[in-house]
Structure 1
Amino acid sequence: MRAPSVVIVSPALAAANNGNWQTARRWQKMLSSTHLVRIVRQWPDAQAMADDIMLALHARRSAPSIAAWAQSRGARGLAVVLTGTDLYRDIATDPQAQQSLALAGRLVVLQSLGVDALAPPLRSKARVIYQSTTSRREVPKTSRELHAVMVGHLRDVKSPDTLFEAAHILSGRADIRITHIGEASEAPWAEKARATEAACPAYRWAGALPHAEVRRAIQQAHVLVHTSALEGGAHVIMEAACSGTPVLASRVPGNVGMLGAGYGGYFEPRDAAGLAALLDRCRAGQAPDAPAPKLLEQLRAQCASRAPLFSPQAERLALARLLQELQESP
């Protein structure tokens, strides 16, 4: 008996190199040894008749494909994977996103608090699948300065303004350096990044980089900064946790669901002063005789305790359980 074939619907393909594409490509690789797996932007297409299971990323943007599957196959074999904009914006007001949730046989959230964002009648359909990454060894880092890196395309939902403002607050500090990685698809964001570079010598906008270079930058930094105002479950957080790099993150459900409620490195969303204060505390704790508590060491230990959640083995097992349920559920 052949294994069921899987189609992954992703609104973003390789050229975008964003979270949706990385999830789609990683799942294709994980499942390809046991299933025939393909990635499409829209379904149905010429090969649609051979598909047994659909994993649709993004309830709103993949809504036409989800509706087409449900019309021809019903809920069986259909899982909708919810992003941050789905969970914390679209499902409250967008009729297409709401319809996608109703049509799905299973709903997938990418961190533990995602289930709480769903209406109570939908929660029984929800499954948590933490995304995964490979582990990297922690590399030695200088104590002469603190190097922070932020990774994320420059758009409002990622709140790059918070980083710009924090860089201005710390502009007189030669011992705190900030590298900002990400593409600015809209000219105003690029202008703001360049203006911050001009005003703040310790801030550098690196633009978009290949994923391998991004991983290296995270591994080599003292701390990852993640300022998102809205988040579903960020790849960069798990990549930092699995590289021995602590995280400073906005206290939004998508980040708390990744790092845990008791994590010590949160600042309030869009609170640039709070972020700057945490960076200052991290730097103060680097000195051997520092009187301040060594925040970096505390955060590194907390991230290490979360890292097993983001292992490829854990994600592969969770995916296998999901496919089994999709096959068996009427």
Structure 2
Amino acid sequence: MILLVTPAARASVHGNDVTAHRWRSILTELGCDVRVANGYEPGDYTALIALHARKSADAIRTFHAEHPGAPIVLALTGTDLYPDLVTSGVDPAILTLASKIVVLQSQALAQLSDEQRAHTTVIVQSMPDIPYETPRHDVFEVSVLAHLRGVKDPLRTAEASRLLPADSRVVVSHAGAPLEADLARLAREESTRNPRYRWLGDQPRTEALRLLARSKLLVLTSHDEGGANVVSEAIAAGVPVLSSDIPGSRGLLGDDYPGYFPVGDTEALAEALHAAETDRNGYYERLRTACERRHDLVAPRKERAAWSDVLTELSLPVPRPVAS
């Protein structure tokens, strides 16, 4: 039995909880028994997989004490890695307890020491193809799938939409839970006074993915990301992305991706939105083609194969063969 610890609340529809339950599914397919918990729960375990070094630190320490010698896989999240491990409050001792470190995109390796990189693997979050949804024809709909947290800079797209020309057809549909009261108040006010913006509140995962699939663009405005699920989802849906220029997105979309704008730069985002809407100099098509080229990166078979390799390396029970 593998214990998989995630600090996310079970009701969450994004982030760590989505990752944890997808990993449980993958590990089950590979022949493992997996128990998902929000902290350490007593049991007879062969290994621990822990999401988030800081928030899962107590679970990691307890597991190590109760199961000395059993392997620990530590998945580092964005709030572990950025701006750096020390500033984020990650206990160095927790890293030394990990038999294996997992990061979610290639540029995260730059945040680690040579010694840490030696036992780190990159496992990109996968997503099956998301069925096509017919876009709205009356507007150029842009989606934001981000909970209302400061690190997400969740109202930046709304602010950028106010700078668009009067004849722009851009509307912003924003799905996300009100995790910070001040931001929720601002989102409600923005929905009232900005005709281009609608905050939809928290949405069931199926509805959020349908919104994404019908959108012309996904906009990610975060200050930091470890490797956002929503970018994998956009690639799987064939929806181009505009993203703040952060390592977490560069590690997924590539350094040559044409859809970055400086973090917090409202004017630059507005310019990118207008260029995409009008397909100025083929900009929208370049975004679409660049995302299409990344499609294989998020293929579920690749994530399964990566976890199969981790299990084998840690001498855990031999997993079932991975389909090619």
Q: TM-score, normalised by structure 2?
A: 0.92
The equivalent of 1:118 in structure 2 is 112
Q: 1:194: how far off? A: 1.7
- Structure 2 spans left out of the alignment, 5+ residues: 317-324
Identify the range of structure 1 (82-91 vs 145-154) with the bigger mean alpha-carbon deviation: 82-91
The equivalent of 1:19 in structure 2 is 15
Asked whether the equivalents of residues 219 and 243 of structure 2 are also in contact (C-alpha less than 8 Å), the reply is: yes
SS in 2 for 1:32: helix
Measured in 1, the distance between the counterparts of 2:266 and 2:295 equals: 27
Measured in 1, the distance between the counterparts of 2:182 and 2:9 equals: 25
Distance 1:224 1:95, change over 3 A: closer
Measured in 1, the distance between the counterparts of 2:68 and 2:267 equals: 50
Q: 1:66: how far off? A: 1.1
The equivalent of 2:35 in structure 1 is 38
SS in 1 for 2:74: strand
Asked whether the equivalents of residues 145 and 283 of structure 1 are also in contact (C-alpha less than 8 Å), the reply is: no
Correspondence for 1:155 among 129, 149, 174: 149
Map of 1:68-79 to 2, 5 A cutoff?
68-74=62-68, 76-79=70-73
Identify the range of structure 1 (266-275 vs 69-78) with the bigger mean alpha-carbon deviation: 69-78
Measured in 1, the distance between the counterparts of 2:149 and 2:159 equals: 15
Asked whether the equivalents of residues 12 and 18 of structure 2 are also in contact (C-alpha less than 8 Å), the reply is: no
The equivalent of 2:3 in structure 1 is 7
The equivalent of 2:50 in structure 1 is 56
Report Cα offsets for 1:91-148 as digits up to 9, x if no partner.
1235543222121111000011111111222110110001111102444545653210
Asked whether the equivalents of residues 167 and 196 of structure 1 are also in contact (C-alpha less than 8 Å), the reply is: no
Q: 1:284: how far off? A: 1.2
Alignment root-mean-square deviation, CA: 1.8
Distance 1:325 1:63, change over 3 A: same
Q: Match for 1:159: what amino acid?
A: D
The structure carrying a bigger helix percent of its residues is: 1
The equivalent of 2:320 in structure 1 is none
Q: 1:74: how far off? A: 4.6
- Structure 1 spans left out of the alignment, 5+ residues: 286-291
Correspondence for 1:322 among 310, 313, 316: 310
SS in 1 for 2:237: coil
Distance 1:96 1:264, change over 3 A: closer
Correspondence for 1:229 among 223, 230, 239: 223
- Are residues 1:308 and 2:304 paired? no
Measured in 2, the distance between the counterparts of 1:114 and 1:75 equals: 27
Report Cα offsets for 1:20-43 as digits up to 9, x if no partner.
111111111112240111101111
Q: Match for 1:160: what amino acid?
A: P
SS in 2 for 1:239: helix
The equivalent of 1:295 in structure 2 is 283
SS in 2 for 1:149: strand
Measured in 1, the distance between the counterparts of 2:313 and 2:109 equals: 18
Q: Match for 2:297: what amino acid?
A: L
Report Cα offsets for 1:41-83 as digits up to 9, x if no partner.
111x232xx2101100000000011112233445641110000
Map of 1:177-196 to 2, 5 A cutoff?
177-196=171-190
Correspondence for 1:92 among 86, 95, 98: 86
Q: Match for 1:114: what amino acid?
A: A
SS in 1 for 2:173: strand
- Are residues 1:105 and 2:68 paired? no
Asked whether the equivalents of residues 7 and 37 of structure 1 are also in contact (C-alpha less than 8 Å), the reply is: yes
Q: TM-score, normalised by structure 1?
A: 0.90
Aligned residues: 315
Correspondence for 1:253 among 247, 253, 271: 247
Distance 1:93 1:74, change over 3 A: farther
- Are residues 1:169 and 2:163 paired? yes
- Are residues 1:197 and 2:191 paired? yes
Q: 1:173: how far off? A: 4.6
Aligned-residue sequence identity (percent) comes to 35
SS in 2 for 1:115: helix
SS in 2 for 1:294: helix
Q: 1:169: how far off? A: 1.7
Measured in 2, the distance between the counterparts of 1:137 and 1:187 equals: 34
Q: 1:185: how far off? A: 1.9
